């Protein structure tokens, strides 16, 4: 018999029951909540007169709607100007209080983007099943946990039963051999993978990232990669446990301690795919082929290397692909065959659950140090992923580097990644963004998003347009 993949192991250890219809009842170890996708679930529970199965397995933090301006944060929830946002943040707070769920509220320095907070606190651990009403829950797979995004009905299902009814996915391996060039980051790696396999390439699969280039990444880098597994169509991304994982977890507030740690570690180290495991789909990539990436279009698969150009209609593989290309070019206001370095930028956004950890801010700060944001840039934002990331950055003096250069230094939250608060693009504006989705209107009505790494966004802020970070000083 063939060995097991990491996904097989995680799946098997959480099956409560296999059902005759081909689904399984899967136990969920950790449930993360935020203000946007949970109110209807809490309400549903109340209407049905149901109780939370295990309040202590849940953790909540508001992130999508929260203001990032320090002034607007001073008075807590009551100070949120947008009444709709305020209500959502307030309802989360009330629900958590009533149900005995731990919440890192707006005044708590542990508050932040739920996918940054979970790993940072050691709430995310190898071998867990983790869900959240948010598609970027895939992020947590970087630590060898089976983590996936769910809809609100399933949020309610998990609150009520601590389980989900699921059918097993197929196994897919993305093997990235070799070494990334200096200046090429985890973000470039995952954008490149999505460009290769497409936004539906991983549909129906759980995606494991392996190979020397993945092993060399820090946990932060692995999180960036797994974060965007969903942009490749997969609900969950995974990286096997190794020393990097274990070192990351040690000493985190919610990580096990003492004797239990030893027992946990022993188990965690078994969380790798067996050498004879069989994957349904395998994609092999040479890290040396990866340049810094820039997305030019309205889907994360519409990316090119920094030395590349916007594609031509002639090169489209099908009529459908050509239609998509026409729509994307029109929306983005770009010409066929235009070099991506010529795209003029209006705003810069460094943040989001993809790239707002301390490592990301360090990478960006190293680029802007001693320089100034180009006068043509209307706004350059740095939004740390959590209050603790913000604090750490301030201890290292990164905030100074950013503000001296002309960046705005904000409070933690999702911010301009989806523009549910007041941080948004204006119509027609181009933004170099370290987020994960370049969909139409994502960062603001009519706004144009270009997905890049933190270092690339930082360099673009200084130059006013995209530059090849490998040859830039």
Among 69, 72, 110, 165, binds other proteins (CB under 8 A): 165
- Under rule CB under 8 A, residue 341 binds other proteins: no
Question: What are the structure tokens assigned to 57, written together?
Answer: 């397995």
Cβ atoms of 348 and 377 within 8 Å: the answer is yes
Tell me the window of 14-22, 44-52, 400-408, 414-422 that interacts with ligand SF4 (CB under 6 A): 414-422
Which is closer to ligand SF4, CB of 213 or CB of 223? 223
Tell me the window of 14-22, 238-246, 337-345, 350-358 that interacts with other proteins (CB under 8 A): 14-22
Residue 111: contacted member of ligand SF4, other proteins, none (CB under 5 to 8 Å, by partner type) = none
Which is closer to other proteins, CB of 30 or CB of 347? 30
Bridge partners, 147 (sequence order): 130
For strands 303-305 and 293-295, give the pairing.
antiparallel
Residue 59: contacted member of ligand SF4, other proteins, none (CB under 5 to 8 Å, by partner type) = other proteins
Nearest to 63 by CA among 34, 97, 103: 34
Q: How far is CA 308 from CA 47, 71, 258, 403, in A?
A: 55, 42, 52, 32
User: Quick check: helix, strand or coil at residue 76?
Assistant: helix
| Cα 272 from Cα 268, distance rounded (Å) | 9
**Length, in residues, of the chain:** 473
- Under rule CB under 8 A, residue 79 binds other proteins: no
Tell me the window of 22-30, 72-80, 303-311, 464-472 that interacts with other proteins (CB under 8 A): 22-30
Among 172, 240, 353, 463, binds ligand SF4 (CB under 6 A): 353
Q: Which of residues 35-64 bind other proteins (CB under 8 A)?
A: 36-37, 39-40, 43, 48, 50, 53-59, 64
| Cα 107 from Cα 197, distance rounded (Å) | 42
Q: Which of residues 391-420 bind other proteins (CB under 8 A)?
A: 418-420
Q: Which of residues 436-465 bind ligand SF4 (CB under 6 A)?
A: 436
Cβ atoms of 33 and 92 within 8 Å: the answer is yes
Residue 113: contacted member of other proteins, ligand SF4, none (CB under 5 to 8 Å, by partner type) = ligand SF4
283 alpha carbon, distance to own chain's centre: 22
Kindly give the residue spans of alpha helices, DSSP state H, lying in 200-311.
212-215, 219-227, 243-249, 258-268
| Cα 192 from Cα 189, distance rounded (Å) | 5
Which is closer to other proteins, CB of 187 or CB of 437? 437
Bridge partners, 31 (sequence order): 58, 131
Per-residue string for binding with other proteins, 105-144, x by CB under 8 A?
------------------x-x-xx----xxx---------
Which is closer to ligand SF4, CB of 45 or CB of 232? 232
Least distance in angstroms from the C-beta of 87 to other proteins: 7
Q: What is the DSSP letter of 444?
A: S
Least distance in angstroms from the C-beta of 91 to other proteins: 6
Least distance in angstroms from the C-beta of 195 to other proteins: 14
Q: Which of residues 98-137 bind ligand SF4 (CB under 6 A)?
A: 113, 115, 134, 136
- Which residues have a Cβ under 8 Å from the Cβ of 425 and sit 6 or more positions away? 346, 347, 416, 419, 431, 443, 444, 446, 447, 448, 449
- Under rule CB under 6 A, residue 377 binds ligand SF4: no
Radius of gyration of the chain (CA): 21
Size of the residue set binding other proteins (CB under 8 A): 88
- Under rule CB under 6 A, residue 64 binds ligand SF4: yes
Tell me the window of 118-126, 213-221, 278-286, 413-421 that interacts with ligand SF4 (CB under 6 A): 413-421
């Amino acid at each position: 018999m063939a060995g097991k993949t990491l996904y097989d192991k995680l799946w098997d250890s959480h099956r409560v029951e296999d059902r005759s219809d081909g689904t399984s009842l899967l136990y969920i170890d950790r449930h993360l909540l935020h203000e946007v996708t949970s109110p209807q679930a809490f309400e549903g529970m109340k209407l049905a007169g149901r109780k939370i199965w295990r309040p202590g397995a849940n953790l909540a933090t508001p992130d999508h709607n929260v203001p990032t301006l320090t002034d607007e944060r001073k008075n807590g929830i009551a100070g949120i100007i947008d009444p709709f946002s305020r209500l959502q943040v307030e309802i989360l707070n009330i629900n958590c209080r009533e149900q005995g769920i731990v919440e890192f509220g707006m005044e708590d320095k542990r508050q932040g983007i739920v996918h940054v907070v979970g790993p940072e606190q050691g709430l995310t651990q190898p071998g867990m099943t983790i869900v959240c009403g948010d598609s970027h829950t895939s992020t947590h797979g970087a630590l060898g946990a089976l983590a996936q995004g769910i809809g609100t009905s399933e949020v309610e299902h998990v609150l009520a039963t601590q389980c989900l009814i699921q059918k097993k996915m197929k196994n897919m391996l993305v093997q990235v051999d070799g070494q990334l060039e200096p200046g090429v980051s985890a973000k470039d790696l995952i954008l490149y993978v999505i460009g290769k396999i497409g936004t539906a390439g991983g549909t129906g699969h759980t995606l494991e990232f392996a190979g020397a280039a993945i092993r060399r990444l820090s946990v932060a880098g692995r999180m960036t990669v797994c974060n965007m597994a969903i942009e490749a169509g997969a609900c969950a991304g995974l990286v096997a446990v190794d020393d990097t994982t274990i070192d990351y977890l040690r000493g985190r507030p919610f990580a096990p301690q003492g004797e239990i740690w030893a027992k946990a570690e022993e188990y965690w180290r078994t969380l790798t795919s067996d050498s004879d495991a069989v994957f349904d789909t395998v994609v092999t990539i040479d890290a040396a082929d990866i340049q810094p990436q820039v997305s030019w279009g309205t889907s994360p698969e519409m990316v090119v290397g920094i030395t590349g150009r916007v594609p031509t209609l002639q090169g489209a593989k099908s009529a459908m692909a050509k239609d998509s290309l026409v729509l994307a070019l029109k929306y983005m206001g770009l010409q066929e065959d235009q070099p991506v370095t010529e795209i003029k930028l209006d705003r810069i956004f460094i943040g989001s659950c993809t790239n707002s950890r301390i490592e990301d801010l360090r990478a960006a700060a190293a680029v802007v140090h001693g320089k100034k944001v180009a006068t043509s840039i209307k706004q350059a934002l740095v939004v740390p992923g959590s209050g603790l990331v913000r604090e750490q950055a301030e201890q290292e003096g990164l905030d100074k580097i950013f503000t001296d250069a002309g960046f705005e230094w904000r409070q933690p939250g999702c911010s301009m990644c989806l523009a549910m608060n007041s941080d948004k693009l204006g119509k027609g504006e181009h933004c170099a963004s370290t987020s994960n989705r370049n969909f139409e209107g994502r960062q603001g009505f009519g706004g144009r998003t270009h997905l890049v790494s933190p270092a690339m966004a930082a360099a673009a802020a200084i130059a006013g347009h995209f530059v090849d970070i490998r040859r830039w000083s």
